[in-house]
Amino acid sequence: MRLILLGPPGAGKGTQAQRLVDKHGILQLSTGDMLRAAVAAGTPVGQRAKAIMDRGDLVPDDVMIEIIAERIDRPDTAKGFILDGFPRTVDQAVALDRLLDERGLSLDRIIEIVVDHTILSDRILGRAKETGGSRADDTEATVSKRLAVYREQTAPVADYYRSRGALKQVDGMGSVAEVAARIDENLRAGTDA
């Protein structure tokens, strides 16, 4: 199974992806996690990405596309994967289509977790408090920048998939378990549900 989880920062993509990993044994490919690992390891990509991430901007498309292409080509993705945090621009979505096409692969589902944007900032800053602020970009200024970047650059990705009839929307308001149940229902429902 190959899935994309779309939705703004704070929508619960990471939490839901992790649950799907536990349930279906497929891989979570979080570009945010990959970048944070690169920053921690001090790789050239990490050194370049750190300042961009800290201010809540997007890492350039060519860098991200190369990272995801390399990751998809590793053998552990054979059973499938959940993309979490990628694609984040329409150009990334187009590149992903091409990449999958070249490999004879397709996507089973593109699920957008839809939430009321007014709760996101509080949710993210609440999460930061709970986890002891482990993410450098969970500050008030960066969060508002990340939400603006989402509206301007990532919301069009949902439109891109919607216009091709490929998008499924799931209500992301409610508890983790409630949202999980809606995602499961959507996954069970078959491709034309």
Binding site for ligand AMP (CB under 6 A): 9, 31-32, 35, 52-53, 56-59, 64, 85-86, 88, 92, 137, 146
Single-letter amino acid code for the residue at 45: V
Strands 167-171, 109-114: pairing kind: parallel
**Residue 40: CB minimum distance to ligand AMP, A:** 13
Residue closest to ligand AMP (Cβ): 32
Of 13, 19, 36, 182, which one is the catalytic site residue?
A: 13
**Residue 64: CB minimum distance to ligand AMP, A:** 4
Active site residue 71: no
Of 19, 36, 50, 88, which one is the catalytic site residue?
A: 88
Active site residue 135: yes
Backbone φ and ψ of 90, nearest 5°: -65, -40
Residue 128 structure tokens: 């930061």
CB closer to ligand AMP out of 143 and 179: 143
User: What is the rounded distance in angstroms from the CA atom of residue 91 to the CA atom of residue 82?
Assistant: 19
Active site residue 98: no
Backbone φ and ψ of 66, nearest 5°: -65, -40
**Residue 21: CB minimum distance to ligand AMP, A:** 16
Q: To the nearest 10°, the Cα dihedral for 112, 7, 76, 188?
A: -20
The answer to whether 171 touches 116, Cβ cutoff 8 Å, is no
Active site residue 88: yes
CB closer to ligand AMP out of 61 and 184: 61
**Residue 148: CB minimum distance to ligand AMP, A:** 11
111 bridge partner residues: 5, 168
User: What is the rounded distance in angstroms from the CA atom of residue 145 to the CA atom of residue 51?
Assistant: 14
CB closer to ligand AMP out of 148 and 176: 148
The answer to whether 72 touches 103, Cβ cutoff 8 Å, is yes
CB closer to ligand AMP out of 122 and 185: 122
Active site residue 146: yes
| Catalytic annotation, residues | 13, 88, 127, 135, 146
